[in-house]
Every structure is written in C-alpha cells, then in structure tokens.
Amino acid sequence: MKGISFAAILGAFAAFTANAGILNNGNWSPSGCGARPEAPVIDSTSVDAFNRSINMINTWQKQIQTYHDCMVREANADAAAINQAAAAEQAKINAASEKLNSDANIARNKLDSSPARGPVNGPPLGSGMERQGY
C-alpha cells in the first residue's frame, strides 16, 4: 500500500507542475529555469572598463530577476503540489479508517442483537485517527 500511496503522490505532484524542482540531500533547486546567471566582475582599471562593468551589471540584474521570478514560480508550484498530494492522501487515510470503524460497529451491533451471543465487550469504535491538517 505504501508503494501505491507514494505513486499517487508522485502522480499528483507531476500533474500539478511540469517543471518540478529537484530535491537532492535536502537541497532544493529549480529545474526549469536554466543556470543561475553568474555575477559580473567589476573592473576598475579605467573609466571605460568600469563603464563596461556597469553595463554588464545592468544586463546581469535583468537576467537574475528573470531567474528569480522563475525560481519563485517553481518553488510555489512545488509547495502547492506537495500540499495538495498530502491532503489527498490524508483524506484517503481518514476515509479508510472511518469506513473500517463503521463496519466494525455494524458488526458489533449485529452480534449484540443476536440471541445466540451475549453483548460484545468494549466501547464502539471511533475514528481511531487524530485529524491533522498540514
């Protein structure tokens, strides 16, 4: 069952975003934004060299803003997909627990009302699961 649940989570995750980030040893990085632009080096050997450096910085700032915006979109999509998949799995677990407890209570009531058997010991079953929201 764990394999099926994990596959369902991965399927929901993949369906939500085509460009999911990469999680490797606890480090997340975007997968659809390309390489992060390298910051230029400021050359102060002359006025002309410095002016060229400033032009390179202006170009870099546009590139890094584009990269940043892409990275934020991907991170938000990944977080939403994980939350959605976890909530769906949580709902399945709660529904299965509730159904099993309901079925057990129905069986208990059937046995309690049977003249051949005495009452079944123990209280009616509850949900058995504490509901936790993530």
Q: 18-75 pLDDT, tens per residue?
A: 568 898 999 999 999 999 999 999 999 999 999 999 999 999 999 999 999 999 999 9
Whose tokens are 């002309």? That residue is 48
Indicate the number of domains in the chain: 1
Distance separating the N- and C-terminal Cα atoms of the chain: 22
CA distance 125 to 95: 14
CA distance 33 to 36: 8
Structural domain includes residue 125: no
CA distance 17 to 77: 6
Query: Average of pLDDT values for 4-9?
Result: 51
**Residues spanned by the domain of 96:** 2-113
105 burial type by CB count under 10 A (0-12 exposed, 13-18 middle, 19+ buried): middle
* Overall size of the chain counted in residues: 134
Structural domain includes residue 17: yes
| pTM recorded for the entire structure | 0.60
pLDDT tens-digit series, residues 96-126 = 999 999 999 999 988 888 776 656 666 666 6
Structural domain includes residue 56: yes
Structural domain includes residue 129: no
Structural domain includes residue 121: no
Give the least confident one: 4-8, 12-16, 80-84, 97-101.
12-16
Q: How many CB atoms lie under 10 A from the CB of residue 35? A: 6
* pLDDT of 113: 84
* pLDDT of 42: 97
Structural domain includes residue 119: no
Structural domain includes residue 133: no
